[in-house]
Amino acid sequence: MLDISSIPHINAVLNAATVVLLWIARRHVKAGNITAHKKTMIAALSVSMVFMGFYLVYHFNSGLARFGGEGFIRPVYFTILIVHVIGAVAIVPLVPWAVYHAVKNNRATHKRIVKWAWPIWFFVAVSGVLVYTMAVHVWPCTGPCLASGLSLPGR
Ligand code: HEM
């Protein structure tokens, strides 16, 4: 049986895999290999769907990992987190919209959408790994910053 506390670690690996897949997919399209671009993007979409599943299960069951850093690092962390969340909300309609136009072979529209969708998605995946590393490994919350009833991932 899967331990709920291991989900943030799994999700960080899935985010890292998305970063790599998005990068490879971008390189394929630059090299003119559309078939490979399509396959890599389908892989990135599949990984992201598994991520979403785990993300929802975790947040409905466990809550949030609290950030334990103090001083200048707090506004840095929360700025990254807020931009990450805004980006994550933005890609929910943008990515399916990009896929729709790719499937319909509306290349010009696909290109217009992905001009925004690809960098936002890439940033969301990179910043996902970053906030995980900051909150879980570098500045974990111990003691009073831990709200009652919330358990830290991996503890
Ligand atoms: C899974 C189905 C997909 C297919 C079949 C597909 C197909 C294509 C095709 C045919 C092109 C070349 C357009 C052209 O130069 O005329 C292209 C470009 C591109 N696609 Fe996709 N794509 C898919 C998904 C995605 C997704 C989900 C993203 C990111 C959100 C994405 C990002 C890009 C990027 C960044 C380019 C380069 C655009 C440029 O050169 O300005 N693709 N895609």
* Ligand 1 atom closest to 91 (CA): 30
* Predicted confidence (pLDDT) per residue in 114-153, tens digit: 999 999 999 999 999 999 999 999 999 887 665 444 444 4
**Whole-number pLDDT of residue 97:** 98
Q: What is the largest CA-CA distance in the chain?
A: 55
**Owning domain of residue 67:** 4-145
CB count within 10 Å of CB 44 equals 23
**Whole-number pLDDT of residue 144:** 66
> Average model confidence (pLDDT) for the chain?
91
Give the SS3 label for residue 146. coil
100 domain-assigned: yes
155 domain-assigned: no
Angle, nearest 10°, between helix axes 73-103 and 34-61?
A: 130
Whole-number Å distance between alpha carbons of 8 and 69? 18
**Whole-number pLDDT of residue 145:** 63
Compute the distance from residue 121 Cα to the ligand 1 centre, in Å. Answer: 13
As for how many domains the chain has, the answer is 1
What is residue 6's DSSP assignment? G
Q: Which residue's CA lies nearest to atom 31 of ligand 1?
A: 114
**Whole-number pLDDT of residue 143:** 73
132 domain-assigned: yes
**Ligand 1 touching residue 110 (CB < 6 A):** yes
**Mean pLDDT value of segment 99-123:** 98
Whole-number Å distance between alpha carbons of 118 and 30? 13
Phi-psi region of 64 (alpha: psi -120 to 50; beta: other; left: phi over 0): beta
Residue carrying the six token digits 């993007």 = 41
152 domain-assigned: no
- pLDDT band of residue 154 (cuts 50, 70, 90) is very low
pLDDT at residue 155 tops 50: no
**Ligand 1 touching residue 29 (CB < 6 A):** yes
Angle, nearest 10°, between helix axes 7-30 and 107-132?
A: 150
The better pLDDT of the pair 145, 78 is held by: 78
**Ligand 1 touching residue 95 (CB < 6 A):** yes
84 domain-assigned: yes
127 domain-assigned: yes
62 domain-assigned: yes
46 domain-assigned: yes
